[in-house]
Structure 1
């Protein structure tokens, strides 16, 4: 969750916000990506990640912050890892073996698209 260090205000629309239900084991969509179902799987994931305000982590519009803001960097890493876990939970074991060592959700998303 991203909040100002000097404030108790929490912005639920901030992409760094994590709800207590946003766990790594969360199942987002009902279908697992097997390869031939990419179009419907990616559409479902796009919708869900948008609802969770996390699509910026897969489309590249929220880049990794620099080290000058350690609070924001830690929040970005935590959210990126949550999104990675969601993606890995929803792809076949064969496909996950080819992307598991990629460091960012955007890198995994691009690889799955190819």
Structure 2
């Protein structure tokens, strides 16, 4: 569902408005400590930045759920300012080598799409390495809790790389159930 930014006109001063910027929001803060360096850390970087942007109520703008206002909208300036703030936040979490090539993108949602297209390509090598790490993992001298957290971390990262097919239809199909069964079998193996 895409929300038109002009439909949000009535509550511009509310922190719930997607374009609301708190007085402490400025371009310099780094929202997350990890920086995007290569495709190797893209999935964990993406998860971290999505959490941070959602906490600031800006994720819907970035993923394109809220469309830009029209040129004559009374909130265009506010939305443009918020868009540029989001761009600066994202660029601050990317290494300089990558950020320099992206600094002329004028839309936070276009920046997000560009990063996703470039770095989220399923990399068979990364999937192989994770599957190998999982199969080679031994408890050794670790406690059960530490062993479990390592294993779970690998599984979560693998799941992020191999995003399962999500059924979005409104019928009562069995895709969700089939995906769940496939995941359970994968974990068992």
> Scaled by the length of structure 1, what TM-score is found?
0.88
Q: Which residue of 2 aligns with 1:49?
A: 53
Q: Is the 8 A contact 1:13 1:53 kept in 2?
A: yes
1:111 aligned to 2:117? no
How much does 1:3 deviate?
A: 6.9
Gaps of 5+ in 2: 1-7, 118-189
- Cα separation, 2, equivalents of 1:100 and 1:46: 20
Following superposition, which runs of at least 4 residues in structure 1 exceed 3 angstroms of deviation? none
> Scaled by the length of structure 2, what TM-score is found?
0.54
Q: Which residue of 2 aligns with 1:19?
A: 22
| Bigger Rg, structure 1 or 2 | 2
**1:33 aligns with one of 27, 30, 36:** 36
Gaps of 5+ in 1: none
- Residues paired across the two proteins, number: 109
Q: What do you get for the CA RMSD once the two structures are aligned?
A: 1.8
Q: Is the 8 A contact 1:3 1:10 kept in 2?
A: no
1:62 aligned to 2:63? no
- 1:37 aligned counterpart, secondary structure: helix
Structure with a larger share of its residues in helix? 2
Q: Deviations over 1:41-82 (max 9, x none)?
A: 01001001001000122101111110121x310011000000
- Cα separation, 1, equivalents of 2:81 and 2:44: 27
